Structure formats: C-alpha cells, structure tokens
Chain A
C-alpha cells in the first residue's frame, strides 16, 4: 500500500507492506538510521520517535498508522547546524556511553522540556522511565536533561565547554 509520511518536515511516499513497522520504515525505506531498533517488544525505548506531537515506540506502530502524519526523529532535533539544547546537554554532561539509547532519550527529553521547561529530577526520571540505558548511565542522562532545562530557561543557550577550547557546535 502507498504510505506518505512527513519526517522532519520532508514528505516521503513509499509502497510498503501494511505489516511494516515504523522503525523499519524509517531505517530501511528512508535511510534514517538515527532511530535505533532495540528490544522489539515496546520495552526499551531505543526506537522512540515523535508521531505528531508525542513520542511513541516506533517498533509498536505500523508504518501505515503514520500515513498522513508527522514524524520527528533525532535527525530533526538540531536547528540547521545548531544542536538542540538537549543534544548539547548530552555532550556537556557525558549523557551517553555506547549511545544506543541516546536518540530515544533525547526525543523524550525534548518533549518533556516543551511541556515542562523546569522539571525536577524526579520528573525527568519519570519521563524516561519507559526507556532503558543498558550502560546504566541514568545519572548523566538526568544531568544532561537538567542541563538543557537550565540553559533554555536562562534564555537562549550557549555551547557547552568541552574543555579543549573547541566549540561543541558543528
């Protein structure tokens, strides 16, 4: 069947089997491999993307269910060359080790901060409670999100200092 999905602002139309999962549509049909395919059982959250206004686990959504809708993936987080404050927070606070859970974590963090610009640590932990970091790096993930909240609420944000004098912005 024909499916048209707007991903990060760009429309894509593909002929797919109805049983195709959204995560595989993004990765295999569109080549957007930033979203990770993890547990396959809606537990780990590596595959989290936004479907319209909310994060969902894309291993449990069929591609046809996204037909006519907007999807936002980690590739759509930065604004041009400027990283999203959440991405900067993960860079500044060592919010990733292996990086597998990172795209989903960041998309959920972005959603949280859009709804709640000044979350408590407990609220951050609850927001990411459906996602697993197999490196168990939760402390730094929470710090990263709180870093992003602080720098956003301060009005604009600055590039994190990587300690080598280089600008974290690409």
Chain B
C-alpha cells in the first residue's frame, strides 16, 4: 500500500492567496495542481513536502485565450481541455498531436499543463512542444510577475526557474503568419512515457524557412530543443534533403542515455527520424495554411 507521508494541506482560492500561503510556509510547501506527478512522487517518498497548497479551486487559471497575436494558456488548464480546444489546434496543431499521446484519457482529465511543466520530467512532452513553439512562461511572485522563455524555464531534470515563493500562471505562445507545427512520439505502449519524441514548428515565406523551432524530449536535448538544427534550417528552402539534414544535426547534438525504455543508439535514431518526420508534417501544415 502506497501512502504519502503526513502533510499539511491548504486550499488556495486565488493567485494572491496561493502566493501568501507560499510566503507563509516557505520552501517546505509545494503547489498541488492535478497531482498526477506530485502524488505518485509523494507515495514513493521521493518527495515529502510539509505543506500542500491546492490550487484546483483557482478556476481563473483554467483558460485558453487568444489575445492579439498570442495564444494564452492558463496553468491549471487540464490536458483534456487543451486536447479538445479547437482554438489551440487551429493555431498550433502540435498541441493537439502532443496531448493525444500524453498519458491516458483519464489522467488527462485531471492532470494540468502547468503541473506537467513544473514537474519538469526529462521525458515530458509539453516541455518539448513549448520549446518548439518558442513559448514564454509567466511566473507570479511576491514582487509581481515575470516572463521566462520556455527554453530558460528548465534548469535540469525536475528543476525549473520557479522559485519557492512563486507560481507559474500562464504560457504564452506567439502566433506568426506562415506557421505550421506537429508532434510525434514513440513509446513502448499506449499511455507510456516516450522512448523518444519530437515536435516542430516552422514558419515559411514561400518555400523558405524563415524560422524553425524543434523540441525533443527523453533524448537528453539541452533545454528540450535542437538549437543547432534550427539554426541550420533558418533561411533554407524547405526541401526534403534539408529536413533530413536537420534531423541528423538534431541527433548529433542530443545526449540520450540507455535505460529501461531503450538503448542510447536507438534513442538517437529516434531523435533523427522523428525530427525529420515532424518537420515534414509542420512544413506541409504551414503550406496548407499558406494556400
């Protein structure tokens, strides 16, 4: 029988209230959103917070909005909400692709976008997706809010820049013309973590790639991104040779490790192949949006 250790519990009713509770309890407190990563960690005694601050009552943080050229996603948005969002899919098909393969439908009902990001598992899917889309995270703290690039959000496995007195409240995704995106994942069985997964967003001007974002997860990519491959793509023609070369570059620069999900050379193979495939998908979608 797995049960968490003794813990205090507080229910936050607003962002301000959550911040006040974080200030009161200090570093021993943890934010509880969907809990689908946190509670299993607590059951295994990998984590023993002194206080849980439950933010599930802050329904103001459940939203997917369009504000000018920004798609805004509230941190408490459930995975199922993001999967079902026609608005999110219209602008970033990568989100729909990724959410379809995150855990299972029941976990997606309660697990949250912000929780997944703050858990910062090195195999997490949305971290790669947001890296590909070059999103921005909005973090609230006692002195107001600050914005951090998705690529500066994670500082290591299970570590983010969110401080002990801070709360991630929103993810912002800039919408630019000529864009297309996609996500693909290979896992051992339905609902499992990836052996490897890749996401891509490209922006085209005619056949020229004006900008590209490539996200990789579970393969040891720095900041969940393939910066060298993106650099290679910028300004080039979106032909298949180019996309395949970008896949090779992405594979060269990631650092997968062998584990129970697969050997490192296979994961590197996946990094190459999946990067190429999602680039093709993103380019074809961008062309569809252009025509």
Measuring CB to CB, which residues of chain A are less than 8 angstroms from any residue of chain B?
1, 17-19, 21, 40-43, 45, 48, 51, 54-57, 60-62, 64-65, 67, 108, 126-127, 129-131
Whether A17 touches B6, Cβ cut-off 8 Å, given contacts A40-B1, A60-B35, A67-B11, is yes
Task: Please give, as numbers and ranges, the residues of chain A lying within 8 Å of B104 by CB-CB distance.
Answer: 45, 129-131
Which of B's residues lie within 8 Å of A, judged by CB?
1-9, 11, 32, 35-36, 39-40, 42-43, 52, 54, 56, 80, 103-107, 109-110, 190-191
Q: Which of chain B's residues has its CB closest to A125's CB? A: B190
Q: Are B6 and A54 in contact, with the CB atoms below 8 A? A: no
Known interface pairs A18-B52, A42-B36, A42-B40; A131-B11 also in contact (CB < 8 Å): no
- Please tell me which one of the listed residues A18, A40, A61 contacts residue B110 in the complex, with CB atoms under 8 A apart: A61
Point out the residues of chain B lying under 8 angstroms from A45, CB to CB.
104, 106
A–B Cβ pairs within 8 angstroms, 25 of them = A18-B8, A18-B52, A19-B6, A19-B42, A40-B1, A40-B43, A42-B36, A42-B40, A42-B107, A45-B106, A48-B106, A54-B110, A56-B106, A60-B110, A61-B35, A61-B39, A62-B32, A62-B39, A65-B56, A67-B11, A126-B105, A129-B190, A130-B103, A130-B105, A130-B106
Given contacts A18-B52, A54-B109, A65-B56, contact A60 B39 (CB under 8 A): yes
Give the distance to chain B from A104, nearest Cβ to Cβ, in Å.
Answer: 8
Q: How far is the CA of A21 from the CA of B40 in the complex (A)?
A: 11
Known contacts A41-B40, A65-B54; is-contact A57 B4 (Cβ 8 Å) = no
